[in-house]
Structure 1
Amino acid sequence: MSREISVITSGPVLPGLIAEAGDGATRRFFEFFTANIRNPNTRAAYARAVAHFLRWCEERHLSLKGIEPIAVAAYVEQLQATHAAPSVKQHLAAVRMLFDWLVTGQVVPTNPAASVRGPKHVVKRGKTPVLSAEDARKLLDSIDTTTIIGLRDRALIATMVYSFARVSAVLGMKVEDYYQNGKRWWLRLHEKGGKFHEVPAHHNTEAYLDAYIEAAGIAGDSKGPIFRTVRGRSKTLTPKPLRRNNALDMVKRRALAAGLPARICNHTFRATGITAYLEAGGTIEKAQQIAAHESPKTTKLYDRTSDQITLDEIEKIVI
């Protein structure tokens, strides 16, 4: 059982505190990470957070049923000395969700984390680096498209920029997810939680995808991934999808070659697209809809239209 949990959660082996509570607790713990959390990144992060908390409890000789709110509060207080507020809040969320799961499974009577408050953390501006429209165009134009790799990379970056999509949503696309609807072509993006989000393809995205798909000869492979890895020195495409770390390496390499900041990342293009859209007169509400954000507050984090302070504003200070 512990080996299965380790493999599926990409986290630590079954904590001793859970094992000591019996088979029911072990199975419920296992189900929490498999049946309850579908996103692999969230699963791994929560596994690390839960393991850290339960190890802390074990060091203080607490049993699973003996964990009380005061213990959780003490853990949160101690964690704030070494972790940033967002990380502490994630740890607390993981512990709270685990105990909710254990309560509904009748493993423990109450959730000791339910009444514990995390540190206050308000974010009004995102930290994702953003490119200007000019630099984004410079990056796209700098890519050598005489090779299949260049065509792929340009199409991938353009898809992220013009659809405001997460890199995972784009890399999860199959060939059939770029499809014609009437006179326009659409993108079917694979979002979190197994959801699909459909948006019209910008004319640049359409042109770049068409060029790449035609050169790659993958139009007939409807169930295959659009963005694929490359096979060694032959520089030919494989049937395997490009992974996020491969995409990040590519973005860093392309940015460096174009003379752009090295801190650019995959998420840069989501923020860049939203900012360019708002600068052109788009609304937060429509940007939220395109980006598939649950809240306009999230979309606002990507809005950098008010970041620059102009000299005219400074000159208004008349003393």
Structure 2
Amino acid sequence: MSYWELLTIELAQISPLAVASYIEQLTGELSAPTVKLHLAAIRSLFDYLVTGQVVPLNPAAAVRGPRHVVKKGKTPVLTAEEARQLLDGIDLRTIAGVRDRALIGLLVYSFARVSAAVGMDVGDYFSQGRRMWFRLHEKGGKHHEVPAHHKAEEYVEAYMQCAGIRVDSQGPIFRTIDPRSNLTVVRMHRVDVLRMIKRRARQVGLSSRVCCHIFRATGITAYLQCGGLLEYAQRMAAHESVRSTKLYDRTSDTINLDEIEKIQI
């Protein structure tokens, strides 16, 4: 059953068979995650309709989506040397360069999502005890506080001093640059960050696959390679489940040369 055929049926007449037929057709056209997303949307809609007493039952409740098992995420990872190459390759003679290094440093050393980073205000970089902390604005309106790595603190301090925005505690910490290369009062959008990261990556000869999320995976992998615990990485990344954190772990990707040399032919 197609989407358009489904639209011709009255809501009360939509059966589990109709939903199952629709999902079966989608399975042949779209990826498993996309099909599961469609099914979840239908379930959510009918849950709402059941609650509002528009329909008596949720016809999608018993329908199963395609099987999809993910053991490793698709996000690429930079090596420690590549991450350092990117950070060191930024021209710090401009406010844009100082800002970009601070933002990339925050993403790498705090495992922050880009939306959580650009959502920060100046006041979300604060002192607690003898260390500086970041208050990240996570999904669902949640705030996640994480101590600043000394490198991230160094980069952000340099940016705050250069930008002169420390007193504007209510203003965004990461701001756009106008055509005259001056800092504005406008908050950066995640799309702005993506463009910046791709531009910085090209400047140092890194792959065009570099994206905002790559730094989260890079930071987590570097942490685990140095003996960090997965449970702590989960807390630092603000993941609900340790399985989510495991998707970012690429420590097992490296194949030992000694093992390869055991192939004696």
- TM-score bin (small chain): over 0.9
Aligned partners of 1:283 and 1:56: how far apart in 2?
A: 51
Q: Percent identity?
A: 62
Q: Which amino acid is 2:219 matched to? A: G
Residue number in structure 2 paired with 1:42: none
Aligned partners of 2:206 and 2:89: how far apart in 1?
A: 11
Aligned partners of 2:145 and 2:213: how far apart in 1?
A: 19
Alpha-carbon spacing, 1:56–1:158, altered in 2? closer, same or farther (3 Å): farther
With structure 2 as the length reference, what TM-score do the two structures score? 0.97
1:130 counterpart = 2:77: yes
- Deviation sequence 1:32-71 (CA, Å, 0-9, x none): xxxxxxxxxxxxxxxxxxxxx864512xx21111111101
Is residue 72–residue 247 contact of structure 2 (8 Å, CA) maintained in 1?
A: yes
1:97 counterpart = 2:44: yes
> SS where residue 171 of structure 2 aligns?
coil
Aligned partners of 1:142 and 1:198: how far apart in 2?
A: 29
1:176 counterpart = 2:123: yes
Q: Structure 2: which 5+ runs fail to align?
A: none
Aligned partners of 2:182 and 2:264: how far apart in 1?
A: 64
Aligned partners of 1:165 and 1:263: how far apart in 2?
A: 19
Residue number in structure 1 paired with 2:66: 119
- Deviation sequence 1:179-218 (CA, Å, 0-9, x none): 0001100000000000000000000110110110111111
Residue number in structure 2 paired with 1:262: 208
> SS where residue 65 of structure 1 aligns?
helix
Aligned partners of 1:145 and 1:101: how far apart in 2?
A: 53
Aligned partners of 2:264 and 2:43: how far apart in 1?
A: 53
1:146 counterpart = 2:59: no
Residue number in structure 1 paired with 2:230: 284
Alpha-carbon spacing, 1:54–1:64, altered in 2? closer, same or farther (3 Å): farther
Residue number in structure 2 paired with 1:108: 55
Q: Structure 1: which 5+ runs fail to align?
A: 1-52
Aligned partners of 1:155 and 1:302: how far apart in 2?
A: 22
Q: Which amino acid is 2:127 matched to? A: Q
Aligned partners of 2:41 and 2:5: how far apart in 1?
A: 15
Structure showing the higher helix proportion among its residues: 1
Residue number in structure 1 paired with 2:156: 209
Q: Which amino acid is 1:268 matched to? A: I
Equivalent of 1:274 in 187, 203, 220: 220
Alpha-carbon spacing, 1:77–1:169, altered in 2? closer, same or farther (3 Å): same
Residue number in structure 2 paired with 1:31: none
Aligned partners of 2:5 and 2:61: how far apart in 1?
A: 18
Aligned partners of 1:151 and 1:311: how far apart in 2?
A: 40
> SS where residue 278 of structure 1 aligns?
helix
Q: Which moved more, 1:307-316 or 1:192-201?
A: 307-316
> SS where residue 143 of structure 1 aligns?
coil
With structure 1 as the length reference, what TM-score do the two structures score? 0.81
Equivalent of 1:311 in 243, 249, 257: 257
1:317 Cα shift? 3.8
Is residue 3–residue 22 contact of structure 2 (8 Å, CA) maintained in 1?
A: no
Residue number in structure 2 paired with 1:156: 103
- Deviation sequence 1:109-155 (CA, Å, 0-9, x none): 11111000000000001100100001000000000011000011000
Equivalent of 2:240 in 285, 294, 305: 294
Greater RCO between the two (CA within 8 Å, min separation 6)?
A: 2
1:221 counterpart = 2:161: no
Aligned partners of 1:191 and 1:114: how far apart in 2?
A: 30
1:318 Cα shift? 4.8
RMSD, matched Cα: 1.1
Q: Which amino acid is 2:153 matched to? A: E
Aligned partners of 2:122 and 2:21: how far apart in 1?
A: 51
Aligned partners of 1:107 and 1:241: how far apart in 2?
A: 42
Aligned partners of 2:119 and 2:50: how far apart in 1?
A: 35
1:237 counterpart = 2:186: no
Aligned partners of 2:263 and 2:61: how far apart in 1?
A: 50
Aligned partners of 2:89 and 2:249: how far apart in 1?
A: 26
Aligned partners of 1:55 and 1:164: how far apart in 2?
A: 43
Aligned partners of 2:81 and 2:233: how far apart in 1?
A: 20
Aligned length: 264
Q: Which amino acid is 1:280 matched to? A: C
